[in-house]
Amino acid sequence: MLIGGMQKNSLIDYPGKVSAALFTIGCNMRCGYCHNPELVLPERYANSMNLDEIFDFLEARKDKLDGIVISGGEPTMQPDLYDFIKTIKEMGYLVKLDTQGTNSKILKKLIEDKLIDFVAMDVKGPLDKYVMLAARPVDLDTILESISIIRDSGIDHEFRTTVVKEQIDPSDFQKIGELVKGAKRFALQRFRPGNTVSPSFSRKTTYSDEEFEEFKEIMSKYVKECVVH
Ligand code: SF4
């Protein structure tokens, strides 16, 4: 496991739980808006942390933390993710996995073996914009499969889309809604400029609060709960 960072205490990464978050190094997408270039761009990779120290920390915090969030980068690119999560589960933690759905096989296995309790999957946008948004080739069948696996899993889950005004049109929300129809929860994430994978995104914008309320109304027709971050 290549872990480039750890958030030792978080009230936001795992809804309703006190958690620690671990951020894996490496991603097979290059979303321009991504705020983790040190986990995504090889020339900027963070140093990987010592796993023994991470496990010592998790062992020591068992009474204070409810869950562990495995985020990235893209965690499912790590070949030893399954065993890593299994060890964390054996410590008694709840586990939340953040993914963009490009590895449906490991996702399915983790869910089937009851090793994860919550999955949050990025849905980059409507299928016809996926390659543009990810800035990499994407196997759309695998994305669809991951969505189905998560939605039908019965475990807590959330799909989420980061909304850059120059990339996502208001008419795209119906298409996104169709993709995630029946899901428990959907999060609309406002794009915030900053330290992004593509420097050109410092000039990009997002929609107004009123417009986000309209998007929320559209998405609420497709999912049980829709939130705006
Ligand atoms: S936002 Fe995109 S580039 Fe960044 S970690 Fe997620 S999938 Fe990878």
> What does the mean pLDDT of the chain come to?
97
Give the residues across from 23 on adjacent strands.
5, 71
**Could you tell me the pTM of the whole model?**
0.96
Ligand 1 pocket member 35 (CB < 6 A): no
In the prediction, which pLDDT does 104 show? 98
Per the CB < 8 A criterion, the answer to whether 13 and 71 are in contact is yes
CB 123 within 8 A of CB 160: yes
Per the CB < 8 A criterion, the answer to whether 85 and 93 are in contact is no
Ligand 1: distance of its center to the CA of 102 in Å?
A: 11
53-77 per-position pLDDT tens digit: 999 999 999 999 999 999 999 999 9
Among 22, 30, 40, the mutation site with the greatest number of ligand 1 atoms within 8 A of its Cβ is 40
Mean pLDDT of 182-195: 96
Q: How far apart are CA 37 and CA 17, in angstroms?
A: 27
Contact 197, 41 (CB under 8 A): yes
Residue pair 82/116 in contact (Cβ under 8 Å)? The answer is: no
Sheet containing 19-24: order of strands: 3-10, 19-24, 67-71, 94-99, 118-122, 156-163, 185-190, 225-228
CATH class of the structural domain 3-164 = alpha beta
State the CB neighbour count (10 A cutoff) for residue 95. 22
- Averaged pLDDT for residues 17-33: 98
- Residue pair 147/104 in contact by the 8 Å Cβ criterion: no
Residue-wise pLDDT for 29-51, tens only, equals 999 999 999 999 999 998 999 99
Please, which residues bridge with residue 121 across strands? 99, 159
pLDDT at 33: 97
Report whether residue 85 contacts ligand 1, using a CB cutoff of 6 Å: no
Output the residue whose Cα is nearest ligand 1's atom 4. 34
**Whose C-alpha lies nearest to ligand 1, atom 5?**
73
Domain extents in the chain: 3-164
- Identify the band that residue 9 occupies on the pLDDT scale cut at 50, 70 and 90: very high
Q: Is the CB of 100 under 6 A from ligand 1?
A: yes
Question: What pLDDT, on a 0 to 100 scale, did the predictor assign at position 100?
Answer: 98
- pLDDT in the model for residue 152: 95
